[in-house]
Structure 1
Amino acid sequence: MIRSMTGIATGRGAAEGHGWSWELRAVNARGLDLRMRLPEGVPGLEAALRARLGAALARGSVTLSLRLVPDGAAAGPAIDATRLDAALGAVAEVEARAAVAGVALAPVRATDLLSMGGVLSDAAAEAVPEALRAALLADFEPVLAAFLESREAEGRALAPALRREIDTIERLTGAAAAAAGDREAAAAEALRAALDRVRAAVEVDAARLAQELALIAVKADVAEELDRLAAHVAQARALLDEGGAVGRRLDFLTQEFTREANTLCSKSGDTALTRIGLEMKAAVDRMREQVQNVE
């Protein structure tokens, strides 16, 4: 089963005197980009989470956020009364010394005091017991499972759309083969008529004529392109059946499909074959849009 690169999951938990909430989300990316927004003071938590995500995911821009709050603590920063008193005492001493020295100071604002070290603290960022790390990692597992399921659910929706475009490319490959066969008869008749006109006007070297005819035949032949298109169709279906992290290989195949469709158009020399090639390019473009979301 293929998986999408986009997904989201949330979760909540509580243990060891703390409550927390998770948010795990991802969008498309060329590789795997992990971004963490975690509280400080939980030793080893980020490394453990990165290892777990790295083992479960292959591609995507992934953001993991954790909000941790001690039980009974207000969400957000708190004032340390002892350190505030110390800061006020320090400010008073500075102002007294400045007055003796005859130095005028600007009035002290509350924000100045709050910026002094330790006066404003975030209770959620303080050191926490080692047991909390284990509780958080255990609680993260169902969040990750829900996240992977959201990716798989979107992958289940992507797969039929991709198969439809692959079927379209296969159908157009067959139509191109038929059009190329019809084109050969018409082209041969037109070439014979042109040769008759040339022979009637000038003397033609037989060896040079054979060489030029061979070059024309090679340039117009689309058999190799059709064979490669058929092989690419088979490989694309095999990748969808294989599932897992096949997005990069599917993306490469869309490039190959585009290359063959372009060559088909450039070699066609026939309105019907050109029209088929353009339809095929449109189908490949639709397929590429879907593939950009496959892990």
Structure 2
Amino acid sequence: MATNDSLKNQLAENKQQRITDPSKLGLKALMNTPTMRKKFEEVLNENANSFMASVMTLVSNDSYLADSEPMSILSGALTAATLNLGLDKNLGYAYLVPFNSKNKQTGKWEKKAQFLLGYKGYIQLAQRSSQYKALNVIEVYEGELLSWNRLTEEFEFDPNGRKSDEVIGYVGYFELLNGFKKTVYWTKQEIEAHRIANSKDRDKTKKSGVWSSDYDAMARKTVLRNMLSKWGILSIEMQEATISDETVQKVQEDGSIISETEIEEDLPERKEAEVVISDADGEIQESLFDDKKPPIKNDDK
């Protein structure tokens, strides 16, 4: 039978849970709430603690991300955890990128973290399906394209015909183990039209974010995502990734994740750096941003 002291403690805990507003908690305190910790443990099992620690390190080393709403950071991190993709920028699988987001209810601008799936993340998820024999996407330079038949998808490519460093398009290709093949070619003009159509900036012609720092990386991702979502074999993981990519997420009380507000524009004061690409061994590394502000330590209790 419960003692008076234990009953008092239980009542105090219940009262504290009722008066605590999760939206007012800092990231560390929010991550250590029983509900959130349980959710990460359900997804990652024994790797939950190390993943959560890596998220705290990521945020403390990125002052822009540290200024973002904690719940949006946690939601994006949980999305990455669900997909079993690390958030280390050097890996290039997935990122948490801070953006300005307009709250549709209050009309105020808020800094929120957006989950962004990297080029390598799509490849990683495709490989896990064990259905792909070959998968690649590359830029096409002036002189390399001999012909392209949109109907039959016959693509004549001359790797030795390059005449300049001007990129004229992007080609994606995959072959499944069952023999099905698909080739997709996007001209530079088609990529640009897609970018502008999906831009949330006031000036839609303006290149921001990774489109500004590494246009080719985002163009390859665009072709790859479009090709796989239309003609590839999509596992449950890849379907979830495609839906979550480039959206702000919100964790509900039951631990489920839903899309929240739309991203309106990139942070105007953010300093963008070159995205580092290294594909000599088929590996691609992306570094989204180079923060100029000093790291902020998170001292949440």
Is the TM value for this pair above 0.5? no
TM-score by length of 1: 0.21
TM-score by length of 2: 0.21
Q: Quick check: which has more Rg, 1 or 2?
A: 1
Q: Which of structures 1 and 2 has the larger relative contact order (alpha carbons within 8 angstroms, sep 6+)?
A: 1
> Hey, which of these two has a bigger chunk of strand by percent?
2
